[in-house]
Amino acid sequence: MTASSWQSLGKRIAMSDFSNHDQLQATYARDGFVVVRNFLNPDELDDLCVSLERYIKEDVPALPDSSAFFHDRDRPETLKQLQHIQDETLVSYAHHKHWVKLAETLIGEPVQAQAAPEWFNKPPGIDHTTPPHQDNYYFCLTPPSVTTIWVALDPATAVTGALVYVRGSHLLGIRPHGSTNVLGFSQGITDYGPTDAAREQLIELNPGDAVAHHGNTIHRADPNRSETRDRRAFAIVFQAQNCQRDKDAYQRYMQNVNRQHQSLGLQTAADKNAP
């Protein structure tokens, strides 16, 4: 989508405003995540879903293994994660002022989006857990001024596998991570325990609602236990413009990702943003 079509889209939609700016900032600073109800209105949500459906139908079949993760590559309905999305319309969301404004409100300084948006699904009937992790263990950014805006495209509930956050965990640094067998989340926290569980908060969202989480906030999700409903989401990661990547830590992380992909018989990730 071009800049001018974004402008006309902007005129026709009444986006949720951020007049509660101070409250959003305070909640995010305290908990490490914040919910924005109706972040996308029905028209916006519809446009996003149409673009994603087109991309999944027309472009995804030709993508390498490292960009499109399937539970079973021979069953398109088991698509569970998209990385490195290059579609022009989908990438343009990273520059849309509504998204940027929320990220800047939370981070408190100018931001830039990471290279490509992501799409997550928990297809029905598939045992797909999101292990407890901290995104900045993957990103390796200093300072950790990075936030993920995760927008529900379907109801995210206790049944379908809504995100679960450990309140306040962003204030306590990065925890040890180790390899998992979950494609798309190659590293998980190795000492996750009862103290974490006691501070868990399940975030149920309606389609169009967003939750934004800090890069150090521990989060996880259960499998989708619905027999019929997907649990899809579209996410963009924003970081402060002054963030620096720890290149050695990132290289170690990427070696782990590539090892996992090789062990699963996938092509290894050729570029730098694989999870």
Ligand X SMILES: O=C(O)CCC(=O)C(=O)O
Min. distance of Cβ 219 from ligand X in angstroms? Answer: 6
Q: Confirm if 200 and 165 have CB atoms less than 8 A apart.
A: yes
Q: Report 76-135 residues binding ligand X (CB under 6 A).
A: 120, 130, 135
Task: State yes or no: residue 203 binds ligand X (CB under 6 A).
Answer: no
Min. distance of Cβ 92 from ligand X in angstroms? Answer: 20
Task: State yes or no: residue 216 binds ligand X (CB under 6 A).
Answer: no
66 three-state secondary structure: coil
Q: Report which residue type is found at 79.
A: L
Task: State yes or no: residue 154 binds ligand X (CB under 6 A).
Answer: no
Please identify the residue of the shown chain whose CB is closest to the bound ligand X.
Answer: 120
CA distance 256 to 178: 9
Q: Mark 26-65 with x for binding to ligand X (rule: CB under 6 A) and - for no binding.
A: ----------------------------------------
Q: Report which residue type is found at 158.
A: A
Of 127, 130, 131, 121, the residue nearest 77 (C-alpha): 121
Of 128, 144, 152, 84, the residue nearest 221 (C-alpha): 128
Q: Applying CB under 6 A, which of residues 67, 134, 148, 258 lies at the interface with ligand X? A: 148
- Residue ranges of alpha helices (H) inside 65-191 are 88-92, 97-107, 135-139
The contact set with ligand X (CB under 6 A) reads 120, 130, 135, 148, 150, 219, 221, 233, 235
